[in-house]
Chain A
Amino acid sequence: MAHSQTMIGHGDGGWTRREFLYALAGGIVLASGISAGRWYFRPRLQSEAFVAKASDYGGNLSGLMVEGFRELGVAPEEIRGKRILLKPNLVETSMGAPHINTHPLVLRGAIEAFLRLGAATVMVAEGPGHRRDTLAVYEESGLADVLTEDRIRFHDLNYITGYTVQNIGRQSSLRTLTFPALFKEVDWIVSVAKMKTHHWTGATLSMKNLFGVMPGIYYGWPKNVLHHAGIENSILDINATLKPHFAIVDGIVGMEGDGPIMGDPKKVGVVVMGRNLAAVDATCCRIMGIDPHKVSYLERADNWLGPIAEGSIEQRGEAIAAVRTNFNLIDTIPAQQGIRLV
């Protein structure tokens, strides 16, 4: 008798094609069910964010940050003897527009705070995204005066030797990422960002700030390779691979509207800190009147690189509602459309 169905396998235990397809379909359903179950039942990540009021840059910012460390459980034993690298947001300089960059006095506060907790060394390092002339940005931002006075070393990450590692994030097509070799010589990488809206990503905070660690001599200006690979994909890849240790966001005077360069100053009067960058950025978004779930890269980072849901972030210090200051969003900029927190 001719079989109408091709046998898969041999002998009495062989399967017909129909049986095989049923089994295959069942397997797929079972596997996807397990996968969905794992996703659904995956424990929610939890983190903390500390919000402190700081009405201007002349206050005791180091004391405020030491208080933040205490609230966040960063004990002196954890910092003692560590080599700390602070990565500010130095984009460009423009006369009369200091709100483009992390304020130098916020960096001084962070330096003093880490030293008070016993850090062995603190250094500052940045590879500005737009300007090839890092020294000009370093000087004109006012940071050179502060760091020279404090005898703190500044490293230009744009013209620095790199080391290459596998891209753990795998969100972009980049198989590897090249970071500054300097990073092998430090214990903590701290993103000291600026609170700003952004015309491509909605908001730029501690996660986006890490674009600046990618050396210009490998990635171009303004980090062309990363822009080509997708800004949001690259933000996620960099953070997933680098695994930064801490975030401090300068929200004393931020930038609203057409950030990260051409926007207007926005006085908020806060500093936001935390161990988890996604949680810190989500908190900043809420302070800015932005829904972090509508900022695409933060939504994609949720429960992977960190929590962004309000219920998953324990707020220390000031309540968000007490400091919320809606940032101006521009209707004609797609990344800023429909992201207002309601």
Chain B
Amino acid sequence: MAVCALRNSGFAQHQRVSDGVRLLLDRQLPNGGWNYGNTKVFGVELHPAPESTGAALQAVAGLVPYQEIKKSVDYLRAEVDRARTPIGLGWGLLGLGAWGEAPQGSSDLIHQALGRQERYGPYDTSSLALLLLPLVAPGGILEVHNERPPM
């Protein structure tokens, strides 16, 4: 999040962005994806989650070679088709979109997720915004602010 915020604010060259990217790559799971922080506990690899994987892919997009995150993209591409929640689907599509890997039919997935409010009630504002964001920025959230001049 901090890396995304700095990049969106025109501080892409800031040292903390480099530090953040290095940290994220260090915490990438060996078999792809990101958990909530650690990669292994007592020698056992943890499970990846779509929301954290999408956010991390979004943060490092364009700053690291594709090969370094390919396993995570593969994981997320397989996962995003079954993601139906605003947080999982929203971050999943943003992360893939940032690498030009958004799946066909992203819009349909978003509309299906919107339709599920009939079951769960209205989504809160931040969840709704996150779910809709890939429609506005199919190539990731950096697109939203790409007009901003560097500071």
Q: State the A residues within 8 Å of B (CB).
A: 92, 94, 130-133, 135-136, 139, 144, 148, 159, 199, 221-222, 258, 261-262, 330, 332-333
Contact = CB atoms under 8 A, between A and B. Distances in A.
9 contacts: A131-B36, A132-B87, A133-B85, A135-B87, A139-B84, A222-B36, A258-B42, A261-B46, A333-B42
B35 A199 contact: no
A277 to B, nearest CB: 26
Contact of A221 (B36, B83, B120): B36
B42 A199 contact: yes
A199 B41 contact: yes
B44 A258 contact: yes
A135 B51 contact: no
Given A136-B87, A136-B88, A131 B41 contact: no
Contacts of B83: 136
A333 B42 CA distance: 7
B36 A135 contact: no
A240 to B, nearest CB: 27
A94 B88 contact: no
A148 B120 CA distance: 9
Interface of B: 35-37, 41-44, 46-47, 49-52, 83-88, 119-120, 124
B134 to A, nearest CB: 16
B50 A133 contact: yes
B144 to A, nearest CB: 21
B133 to A, nearest CB: 15
**What 9 A-B pairs are tightest by C-beta distance, nearest first?**
A133-B87, A135-B85, A133-B88, A136-B85, A133-B51, A262-B44, A136-B88, A221-B36, A130-B36
A93 B111 CA distance: 24
Given A199-B41, A258-B42, A135 B50 contact: no
A162 B41 CA distance: 31
Contacts of B44: 258, 262
B119 A148 contact: yes
Contacts of B120: 135, 144
The main secondary structure of chain B at its interface with chain A is loop
Contact of B85 (A139, A199, A222): A139
Contacts of B88: 133, 136
A94 B49 CA distance: 10
A33 to B, nearest CB: 45
Given A221-B36, A258-B44, A333-B42, A132 B52 contact: yes
A261 to B, nearest CB: 7
A140 to B, nearest CB: 10
A240 B42 CA distance: 30
Contacts of A92: 47, 49
B129 to A, nearest CB: 14
A258 to B, nearest CB: 6
A101 to B, nearest CB: 13
Nearest to B37: A222
A131 B51 contact: yes
- For A133, A199, A258, A333, the residue with the greatest tally of chain B CB atoms inside 10 Å of its CB is A133
Contacts of A330: 42
B85 A130 contact: no
A29 B51 CA distance: 60
Given A130-B35, A258-B44, A261-B47, 12 more contacts: A133-B51, A133-B87, A135-B87, A135-B120, A139-B84, A144-B120, A199-B42, A221-B36, A222-B36, A258-B42, A261-B46, A333-B42
Given A135-B85, A159-B124, A332 B42 contact: yes
A221 B83 CA distance: 20
Nearest to A153: B121
Contacts of B35: 130
A135 B42 CA distance: 29
Contacts of A136: 50-51, 83, 85, 87-88
Nearest to A263: B44
Contacts of B42: 199, 258, 330, 332-333
B117 to A, nearest CB: 11
Contacts of A130: 35-36, 49
Contacts of B47: 92, 94, 261
A159 B50 CA distance: 19
Nearest to A156: B124
A133 B41 contact: no
A159 B123 CA distance: 12
Nearest to A332: B42
